[in-house]
Amino acid sequence: MAKQKTTFACQSCGAVTTQWSGRCGSCSEWNTIVEELPEVHAVPGSPSPARKGNAIALEGLEGEFAEEPRLVTGIAELDRVLGGGLVAGSAILIGGEPGIGKSTILLQVSAALANQKRTALYFTGEEAAAQVRMRAKRLELEKSPVKLAAETNLAHILQTLKAEKHTDLVIIDSIQTLWSDGLDSAPGTVTQVRAATQMLVRHAKRTGTALLLVGHVTKEGQIAGPKVVEHMVDTVLYFEGDRGRPFRILRTVKNRFGATDEIGVFEMGEKGLQEVANPSELFLGEREAGTPGAAVYAGMEGTRPILVEIQALVTPSSLGTPRRAVVGWDTSRLSMLLAVLEARCGVNLAGHDVYLNVAGGLKITETAADLAAAAALMSSLANNPLPANTVYFGEISLSGGVRQTGHTLHRLKEAQKLGFEQAAMPASGDLETKTLDIHLKRVARLSDLAQMLGLDTLGNST
């Protein structure tokens, strides 16, 4: 047998190299390269290259296909994020930082399905069975017929799954704790995590079981992150949120059976995660209308409109290089916006520290938030509050023009529903607004907004 060659794998992105180095050349993370022994044939069931294959029949694109059967959990925020429930035979990865609530939601899901007379198995590798029972008691779910086991040995888990006649849902909490005898690498390394995922996904596909895998996101890079298995599963969800606040957002980043960019909003309470059916009310709940630097953004998250407050604070800086800090938005987007404000509107922020925050812990990825962010910045600089009854949306181009964005009607309807009377929005794009009772302030250029707010001479007045 040929001598096994040692390889080195980055525990953050999974890149494989032949040499150790302090920094991964692929993802630029430090101290993530670990020596691993790739024992491909040790993975039970993997094909030996020596075996000869058979020619398979090829088919056309047209033909019969069946709608995939779905298990509706009854937790509406989760079902929507999944595209209408768990697809039988699919593998779903739930990533998130420790303590965010992954185990809590999975216990709630398994109990919900078990209560519908479905077979739900929960394998915990992170905690002892007693800890899971304690959580179940806290959530008042201890009577649900969930089948629980504290196990980390992959072979035992696979054998248990085989012994069960039929399973609807299998939960693995977490994928990083699993280990397989056949592999020399330590649990949590890329080799182990990948091999375990591969075996479990194969089992799920073969038996039509929905598989939910927990993947911890780690900053230290000591164990392989969920990124290394994202390509092996059908759906990837990330659980986000500020641990200091009760709101949790479940976001789809990949979904073979539904739309991406869909979010589910939850609130962590004394009895687990509660669904938040109207997130706009939640995000605007603590609003301090009438404060300078606050603008309400009419955003879209997947198929759902969400109103959220964007807060800016612009203060004279005593530093040589003024501070720029952003929470919940893109830093480079802010830099672009500041440059456009300066070049196209004469609003000079070079001598100011700029802080931008999206309220409620939401992360905004849409470029349509540009106009709201710009309005918040200008309002703070002028120390002049924006009208409390107005929402803002529109993408800003480098030329200072305000570009059209999608889902205009959805955004306006949500704004109207929450009592807003006016929307500052792009000038282009026709709209069937007969059904709406909201005043539209069309903004063609960013300088128009500055003028509209009476802030057009800011550059000179401050």
Which C-beta is closer to ligand TYD: that of 35 or that of 142?
Answer: 142
Per-residue binding letters, 97-136, with ligand TYD (x by CB under 6 A)? -xxxxxxx------------------------------x-
Q: Cα 369 vs. chain centroid, distance in angstroms?
A: 18
Nearer to ligand TYD, 124 or 235 (CB): 124
Please compute Rg for the chain using Cα positions.
26
| Closer Cβ to ligand TYD, 264 or 293, answer by number | 264
3-state secondary structure of 25: coil
Q: How far is the CB of 138 from ligand TYD (least distance, A)?
A: 5
Those residues with Cβ within 8 angstroms of residue 111's Cβ, 6 or more apart along the chain or in another chain: 120, 136, 139, 141, 144, 146
Q: Among residue numbers 133 through 172, which ones bind ligand TYD (CB under 6 A)?
A: 135, 138-139
- What is the distance between the alpha carbons of residues 204 and 197, in angstroms, rounded to a whole number? 10
Residue 101 vs 292, nearer CB to ligand TYD: 101
**Could you tell me the smallest distance in angstroms from the CB atom of residue 362 to ligand TYD?**
19
Hey, which residues between 95 and 124 contact Mg ion (CB under 5 A)? 103
DSSP element (H, E) containing 237: strand 235-240
- Picked from Mg ion, ligand TYD, none, the partner binding residue 215 (CB below 5 to 8 A depending on kind) is none
Contacts to Mg ion from residues 124-183, by CB under 5 A: 126
Phi, psi values for residue 29, rounded to 5°:
-80, 145
Total residues interacting with Mg ion, rule: CB under 5 A: 2
If the CB atoms of residues 124 and 408 are measured against ligand TYD, the closer one turns out to be: 124
One-letter amino acid identity for 29? E
Contacted entry of Mg ion, ligand TYD, none for residue 328, CB cut-off 5 to 8 Å set by kind: none
| Smallest gap from residue 292 Cβ to Mg ion (A) | 42
How far is Cα 328 from Cα 360, in angstroms, rounded to an integer? 9
**Binding partner of residue 100 among Mg ion, ligand TYD, none, CB cut-off 5 to 8 Å per kind:** ligand TYD
Q: Which is nearer to ligand TYD, 29 or 127 (CB)?
A: 127
Cβ 86 to ligand TYD shortest distance, Å: 19
Output the smallest distance, CB 26 to ligand TYD, in A.
27
Q: What separation in angstroms does the CA of 246 have from each of 97, 173, 275?
A: 15, 22, 12
Q: Which is nearer to Mg ion, 266 or 393 (CB)?
A: 266
**Furthest-apart CA atoms within the chain: distance in Å:** 80
Between 104 and 390, CB nearer to Mg ion: 104
Which of the residues 421 through 450 are near ligand TYD (CB under 6 A)?
Answer: none
Residue 72 or 217 with smaller CB distance to ligand TYD: 217
The only residue of 268, 358, 368, 374 in contact with ligand TYD, by rule CB under 6 A: 268
| 458 and 347 Cβ atoms separated by less than 8 Å | yes
Site for ligand TYD in 57-96 (CB under 6 A): 96
Which of ligand TYD, Mg ion, none binds 379 (CB below 5-8 Å, type-dependent)?
none
Contact 310, 297 (CB under 8 A): yes
CA atoms within 13 A on the CB side of 423: 26
Q: Are strands 390-392 and 422-426 parallel, antiparallel or unpaired?
A: parallel
Please give the full DSSP string across 378-445, using - where no structure is assigned: HHHHHT-PPPTTEEE--EE-TTSBEEP-S-HHHHHHHHHHTT--EEEEES-S----TT---EEEEESB
- What stretches of 31-119 show up as alpha helix (H) in DSSP? 76-82, 102-115
Helices (H), 317-395: 331-345, 370-382
CB of 168 to ligand TYD, least distance (A): 22
Length of the chain: 462
* Contact partner at residue 138 from Mg ion, ligand TYD, none, CB < 5 to 8 Å by partner kind: ligand TYD
- How many chain residues touch ligand TYD (CB under 6 A)? 15
Residues that bind Mg ion (CB under 5 A): 103, 126
Residues that bind ligand TYD (CB under 6 A): 96, 98-104, 135, 138-139, 268, 270-272
